[in-house]
Amino acid sequence: MGSLWNRSVAALAIILVISLLSGLMFSTLAALSVLSIGLLLLVFYHTHQLAQLERWTQSDVDTPVPLGNWIWELAFANLYRRMRQRKEAEKNLAATLAQMREAAEAMPDGMVILTGDDHIEWFNWRATSYLGLDPEHDIGRPLANLVRQPEIIEFIAHRNFGEPLIVKSARDPHLILALQIIPYGTEQKLLVTRDISKLEEVETMRRDFIANVSHELRTPLTVLCGFLETLENLPPDDPEAPRFLKLMKTQADSMQRLVNDLLALSQLESPQNPLKEKPVDIAALIRGVYDDALGLSAGSHQINLQIDSATKILGSEAELASAFGNLASNAVRYTPQGGIIILGWYNTGDQAVFEVRDSGIGIASEHIPRITERFYRVDRGRSRETGGTGLGLAIVKHVVLRHQAELAINSTPGKGSSFAIHFPAARCMP
């Protein structure tokens, strides 16, 4: 600006000098004429440049700044530099906003920006799926007109910023959402929606687990307490005492098995319990499982052993023995007397397979997807009669997962079942 002022002063000085020289060389009238003409030309020049500036200010934003000349060259150059700086700043701001938008779009939570009167300013794609919003039509509209769930509308209207709202999605009944309102700025609000379906599922499993454990322990404890009270009132030589003691031991053994299975399952699920790997002679292990099954059956079943492979498995011998033993004992428990049970070990392709087949009661297809859940029983009464804890197949599932194997279950009611563990090639050793 100082340079512009200096150039203007210099132009006036030149006009004055020319006027004085004209006066000295000619006359005072000549001097005044030169001065008047010079000032008029200067005024015309400035007016012209101002007119260019005025036309530019009324043109499109992207119209280039006029070049200018002489005195105004610097002014237009400075204006051009400022415009370039502003465009660069806008470009950087746009890039920053684009990054923030990308980050918001990548968020696993639904995000909706609301005005003070709860009109939608912006939302990400998660909010589209969670709340059913339309990015092409819903910007600027009241949220209450777009969300049909009364509890959500009431939650927003009450301005309850402290506690989240837990609600099922109207679009997907299996989807459970947690809604939280976060105020910011002057009157703006951020509505955050989060999918907590998995958390709710875990919480449900926790509640069910506690309820099941309590139920499973309550029955034998009730029986034990009842027999203890009875024994207290019996004479020392009462002939019924041994029978009561035997029944009490049966219930105590049942609780012991349940506790042991719970501890085993807890260890399998613990991240602080890494798999202790070593080559396991599966053929020898299965022979031990076969002997245990014979003892459990006590001659009531025809149990066959078919070992067609010498493949060893890299894994935990104790865990594999537990999984194989649970499958074999289940086959014995749920196969009627005289039934056939086959324990097999063989190769298929590059995989090794341990299979337990039986001619037992079978399992209906609707139960198979849930049969490895804790305490899930197809027939609760029969399971208790056979001494099952309801945790055996859950243990098998976790052992299978820890060995990167797969459990295949096939069953036909009234004809029997097949449980096969397929070990991947990476765990097979010659």
pLDDT tens digits in sequence order for the chain, 430 residues long: 456 677 777 778 887 888 888 777 878 887 788 778 888 887 887 888 888 888 877 878 777 777 777 777 777 788 888 888 888 888 888 787 778 777 777 777 888 888 888 888 888 888 887 888 888 888 888 888 888 778 888 887 777 777 788 888 777 777 888 888 888 877 788 888 888 877 776 666 666 666 666 666 777 777 777 777 777 777 767 777 777 777 777 777 777 777 777 777 777 777 777 888 899 999 999 999 999 999 988 899 999 999 999 999 999 998 999 999 989 998 998 899 999 999 999 999 889 999 999 998 888 888 888 888 877 777 655 544 555 667 888 889 999 999 999 999 999 898 899 999 999 999 998 8
Sort strands 120-123 and 406-412 into parallel, antiparallel or unpaired: unpaired
Are residues 258 and 217 in contact, defined by beta-carbon separation less than 8 angstroms? yes
Domains with residue ranges and CATH for the chain: 2-100 (no CATH), 107-195 (3.30.450.20), 201-269 (1.10.287.130), 278-429 (3.30.565.10)
CA-CA distance, 320 to 284, in Å (whole number)? Answer: 12
List, for residues 219-270, the tens digit of each pLDDT value: 777 777 777 777 777 776 777 777 777 777 777 777 777 777 777 777 777 7
Q: Name the percent of the chain in helix, strand, coil, to the closest 5.
A: 55, 20, 30
Map tokens 């794609």 to a residue.
Answer: 125
**Residue-level pLDDT at 210:** 65
SS3 407: strand
User: Which residues touch 191 (CB under 8 Å, ≥6 apart)?
Assistant: 110, 111, 112, 113, 114, 127, 143, 156, 179, 180, 181, 182
Q: How far apart are CA 412 and CA 362, in angstroms?
A: 5
pLDDT tens-digit profile of 33-45?
877 888 888 788 7
| Nearest of 242, 241, 246 to residue 230 by alpha carbon | 241
The beta-strand segments (E) located in 74-164 are: 110-114, 120-123
pTM value surpassing 0.85 = no
Residue 348 makes CB contacts below 8 A (sequence gap 6+) with: 422
* pLDDT of the residue at 3: 66
For the four alpha carbons of 70, 75, 81 and 84, in that order, the dihedral sign comes to negative
* Helix 241-269 with 392-402: angle, nearest 10 deg: 20
pLDDT (0 to 100) of residue 1: 46
Q: How far apart are CA 120 and CA 123, in angstroms?
A: 8
The reported pLDDT for the residue numbered 96 is 78
The Cα 117–Cα 350 span in angstroms is 65
The predicted structure's pLDDT at residue 4: 66
C-alpha span between 174 and 194 (Å, rounded): 14
